[in-house]
Amino acid sequence: MHLDNYFSLSNSSINEAEFVLLGIPYDRSQSFKSGSRFAPAAIR
């Protein structure tokens, strides 16, 4: 898999990476008020 300029950080193959971060909006951990799924994509 090749990530073409993902978030303008790299132009490297995913196979060369030491680690990969992936933002996933997950609201099940909230007991009172959800909302992480509505956050801007820039935060993720």
pLDDT at 2 over 60: no
What's residue 41's pLDDT? 60
Which of these, 27, 21, 28, lies nearest to 44 by C-alpha position? 21
Whether this prediction's pTM lies above 0.85 is answered by: no
Q: How far is CA 12 from CA 1, 2, 21, 38, 43, in A?
A: 10, 7, 14, 30, 22
Q: What pLDDT digit, counting tens, does each position of 4-27 carry?
A: 545 555 566 777 778 877 767 666
Cα–Cα distance measured from residue 4 to residue 11, given in angstroms and rounded to the nearest whole number: 5
Whether 28 and 37 have beta carbons less than 8 Å apart is answered as no
Cα–Cα distance measured from residue 44 to residue 9, given in angstroms and rounded to the nearest whole number: 14
Split at pLDDT 50, 70, 90, the class of 43 is low
